[in-house]
Structure 1
Amino acid sequence: MMVALALLLLGGLTAVLAPRVLARSSWPDREPVLALWMWQCVVAAVLMCCVLAMALCAAEAWQVVRGQVFAPAPRQVIEAYALSAEGQPWAAALAVLLFGGGIWTAAMLSREVRATRSRRRRRRIGLRTRSPLLPGEEESSDERLVVLEGEHPDAWWLPGTAPRLIVTTAALRRLKGRQLDAVLAHEEGHVRARHDWLLHCSSALAAGFPRVPVFRAFRHQMHRLVELAADDCASRRHGRLTTALALVGLNEDRGVFGPCPAHRAQLPHRVNRLLSPAERLPVARRLRMTALASLVPLVPLLVAFVPGLSALG
């Protein structure tokens, strides 16, 4: 049972300390894609700690579960975990608590998926209302770009099995030259990277466990980093100045660049980041950090299997 407690301690420390460490780092703005990967690995490690601790607690509490968990293991491996013959009541309570957390997480994910599908269905109905098919015209899944009549410049993407890039006529009038191409490249970056899945998962975890620091920070950082990553995708194809001017053109009438921005407060930072880019991390360092982040979810596995591997060795 010491292994299960060690996993819970490791998960708790990671959930509390990882957001603080990453928040103090300056490199995520320079490497948003790497930061996205690191955040995913940290959250996966916390979830892995909970799942493994639940399995070991259940194995301690109930013989039936123990037989399933340690079915292929030799006797010396089972003995290495020092499981009691009669089981511990507190282990059963802890296993039930962790199992309930898993059920709650699944419920939050299901709710998020249902709500997203409902919103997407309403938006597609609204899209078809604003852009009806002409007589004899058939809807095609290859129709990637939709132009809507609108007084305000705007562009967004509608995810799904057939993603749509939507732009208003006001945006077409406002954006000059390659600025429209930069906006479309930004939205296509979201589509290709499937950023909607990251946003859904982070929102579900934060809604289900609002007091867990790592899940709160995960949701906040995902909404910020996916925009920075899409900005970089657009700037690589059309230039930083063009992308920055496109962002300003789309949002200058919304009061986000004034002294007291009402919403979308991160837009000035995004524009300044494009106009005054920081130097990227060296390739060797990026590779090391990627490899290090990939190993983070393996730490709980190592902790869980160390007694068994030691017994076999």
Structure 2
Amino acid sequence: MMVPAVLLLLGALTAVAAPRLIARADWPDREPVVALWAWQCVVVAVLLCCALSMTLSAAAAWQAVRGHVFAPAPQAVVEAYGPVPTGPWAAATAVALACGGLWSGAMLVREVVRAKIRRRSRQAELLVRAPLLPGEEATGGRLVVLEGRRPDAWWLPGAAPQLVVTTAALRRLKGRQLDAVLAHEQGHAQARHDWLLHSSSALATGFPQVPVFAAFRDEMHRLVELAADDMASRRFGRLTTALALAGLNEERGVFGPAPTPQANVPQRVNRLLTPPDRLTAARRLRLTAAASLVPVIPVLVTLVPGLRALG
């Protein structure tokens, strides 16, 4: 049965080639939203290759599974996917891929649970540092102002999302600069970037030896910031957004020679000050459509033997 092997080979080629193609392209920084979609399609394609290969391998190894997978199919289609049994390799492949799938699910659950714990901890800290006033209720979208010496602003997701700003940020940022920072954080919340970060972190943590998942995590952290920058700059201008970003981070050493956790801030500021030309709407549509076709390829490869039998 060759289809599972072809799917695994296709998944490996996608995992190796697609990140290199995206890295060499000149458009991801110009169109971060399109790049986010392209990365998601690549990872979904890799996962689909593994899932479909697991299903067909299990169908080749065990007659009971084969009966369920090909239950509504004509006999010619069933025979097109190979005889039964196919040896121990099919069972070993199916078990290995199933374990990988369970491990991925476990890593995602662990990442979500950890995120909830961190969010509850930060919410409890907020209640201590900024308690509710008598008669005030915790409602969604509540703006919280914290006393703090460091300029900072962040969005705390959850059932009742909160936008947190420190008093130092209010003193440092004036007028539209503060509005740009708030728009940046609201952009993260509206696009649900937290789920992208959770998913990418789960895959990278669960499979640290797989480079595509590590690259996916790193690019998600970078591209979501660029996308939020663009959302803020469209409303308040690139110069205002760049000045606000610099004002929030200038005391953290990010503009010096030593690397810091916010080492991408200077690049983000330079990008805002010297914006690259956006792609045309037609090219953005073509790139989006091309990326959307990547996960379709494993499905077509899986269906080829059955379609040939029917034809």
Bin the TM-score by the shorter chain.
over 0.9
Q: Secondary structure at the match of 2:151?
A: coil
Alignment of 1:60-99 (within 5 A): 60-84=60-84, 86-99=85-98
Answer yes or no: is 1:180 the counterpart of 2:178: yes
Conserved 8 A contact 2:8-2:50:
yes
Alignment of 1:269-288 (within 5 A): 269-288=267-286
Deviating runs (4+, > 4 A) in structure 1? Answer: none
Answer yes or no: is 1:163 the counterpart of 2:156: no
Answer yes or no: is 1:18 the counterpart of 2:18: yes
RMSD: 0.9
Displacement after TM superposition at 1:275 (Å)? 0.1
Aligned to 2:42: 42
Alignment of 1:116-195 (within 5 A): 116-134=115-133, 136-195=134-193
Conserved 8 A contact 1:19-1:213:
no
| Alignment size in residue pairs | 311
Counterpart amino acid of residue 182 in structure 1: A
Displacement after TM superposition at 1:260 (Å)? 2.0
Q: What do residues 11-57 of structure 1 show as CA deviations (whole Å, max 9, x unaligned)?
A: 01111121111111221000000000000000000000000000000
Conserved 8 A contact 1:62-1:87:
no
Instruction: Calculate percent identity across the aligned residue pairs.
Output: 70
Q: 207-216 or 226-235: which moved more?
A: 207-216
Q: Secondary structure at the match of 1:27?
A: coil
Q: Secondary structure at the match of 1:166?
A: strand
Provide the rounded CA distance (Å) in 2 between the counterparts of 1:147 and 1:25.
41
Aligned to 1:209: 207
Provide the rounded CA distance (Å) in 1 between the counterparts of 2:306 and 2:147.
65
Provide the rounded CA distance (Å) in 2 between the counterparts of 1:81 and 1:234.
52
Aligned to 2:195: 197
Counterpart amino acid of residue 161 in structure 1: A
Q: What do residues 192-234 of structure 1 show as CA deviations (whole Å, max 9, x unaligned)?
A: 0000000000000000011111101000000000000000000
Alignment of 1:43-58 (within 5 A): 43-58=43-58
Q: What do residues 216-255 of structure 1 show as CA deviations (whole Å, max 9, x unaligned)?
A: 1000000000000000000000000000000011011111
Counterpart amino acid of residue 67 in structure 1: G
Provide the rounded CA distance (Å) in 2 between the counterparts of 1:217 and 1:148.
35
Answer yes or no: is 1:106 the counterpart of 2:109: no
Counterpart amino acid of residue 31 in structure 1: E
Aligned to 1:6: 6
The structure 2 residue matched to 1:296, chosen from 294, 297, 306, is 294
Distance 1:26 1:117, change over 3 A: same
Calculate the TM-score normalised by the size of structure 2. Answer: 0.98
Conserved 8 A contact 1:187-1:230:
yes
Displacement after TM superposition at 1:151 (Å)? 0.8
Displacement after TM superposition at 1:278 (Å)? 0.5
Provide the rounded CA distance (Å) in 2 between the counterparts of 1:291 and 1:221.
20
Provide the rounded CA distance (Å) in 2 between the counterparts of 1:262 and 1:115.
24
Provide the rounded CA distance (Å) in 1 between the counterparts of 2:141 and 2:45.
40
Displacement after TM superposition at 1:88 (Å)? 1.6
Provide the rounded CA distance (Å) in 2 between the counterparts of 1:241 and 1:138.
37
Q: Secondary structure at the match of 1:72?
A: coil
The structure 1 residue matched to 2:307, chosen from 288, 306, 309, is 309
